Amino acid sequence: MSRRAPLAVIGWLAVAAAATGIGLAAVQVIGSGISAGTGTDVITPAQAARDLEAAGTAPPSGVAPSGTTPSPSGSRPTSPAPASGPTNQRSLAGPAGSVIAGCTPAGAKLISWTPAQGYSVERFDPGPGEYAEVRFRADGRSSSGRGNGEVRVRIRCVRGEPIAAWDT
C-alpha cells in the first residue's frame, strides 16, 4: 500500500467531520429561530380572555356581586353603566377551529375566531345580529359549498349566553 492511501483516508475523514459539524450548527441556528417565538404564538382561550379584559373590551372582573356599583355612604346603590362590548363571553371549540363570542343587546357578536390546523377562514359575519357566523374550509378543498370540507359555526344568544351550532 502506498503512503498516499492513509493520507487520503485521513483527509476524507477530516472533510466529512467538518461538513457534519457545519451541518449540525446550521440546523441548530435554524431550529432556534423557529422555536424562539415571534409574537404570533397561539394562546389559550383563558389568555385571550385576560388580554381582552386588560384591553377594556371585556366586563371587569371586579363588579360587585349584587350587580350594582358601590356607592358613597348614605346614598342608594346605582346600576352599572351598560357595557360597551359583548357580555357573557365564551370560548367555543369545534371540529374546524374555535371562536370567542359574546352577547350584546343587538345580538350575537364574534370577538375572535381561529381555524384549526389544516383549515382556513373562508368568510365571516361577526355580528352583532340574530346570528354571527364563521365558515372554515379545509385547506386544499374546493369552496363550492358545504360537504366539500366547509364547516360553518353559527353563534346565537339564548337567555344572554352565546351558543354555537356547528354544521359540517
20-58 per-position pLDDT tens digit: 888 887 778 776 655 555 455 566 777 777 777 776 654
50 within some domain: no
Q: Is residue 1 part of a domain?
A: yes
At 51, which helix (H) or strand (E)? helix 45-55
Helical (H) or strand (E) element with 113: strand 107-115
Residue 155 lies in a domain: yes
For residue 26, tell me if it sits in a domain: yes
Q: Tell me, yes or no, whether 145 lies in a domain.
A: yes
Q: Cα 15 from chain centroid?
A: 47
Report DSSP state, residue 124: E
| 80 occurs within a structural domain | no
Q: Which domain holds residue 11?
A: 1-30
> Does 165 lie in the same domain as 93?
yes
Based on the fold, state whether residues 19 and 91 are members of the same structural domain: no
| Shared-domain flag, residues 166 and 96 | yes
Residue 107 lies in a domain: yes
More confident residue, 27 or 158: 158
Domain assignment of residue 5, yes or no: yes
CA contacts within 13 A on the Cβ side of 110: 20
Per-residue confidence (pLDDT) for residue 81, from 0 to 100:
42
Contact of 89 with 106, CB cutoff 8 Å: no
| Co-location of 91 and 155 in the same domain | yes
Answer whether 0.75 is exceeded by the pTM: no
How many domains, the chain? 2
Task: Mark whether 98 and 167 lie in a shared domain.
Answer: yes
Q: Is 93 in the same domain as 168?
A: yes
Mark whether 91 and 165 lie in a shared domain. yes
- 48, HSE (Cβ side, Cα atoms, 13 Å): 18
Same domain, 159 and 91: yes
Residues 63-122 pLDDT 10s: 333 333 333 444 344 444 444 577 789 999 988 999 999 999 999 999 999 999 999 999
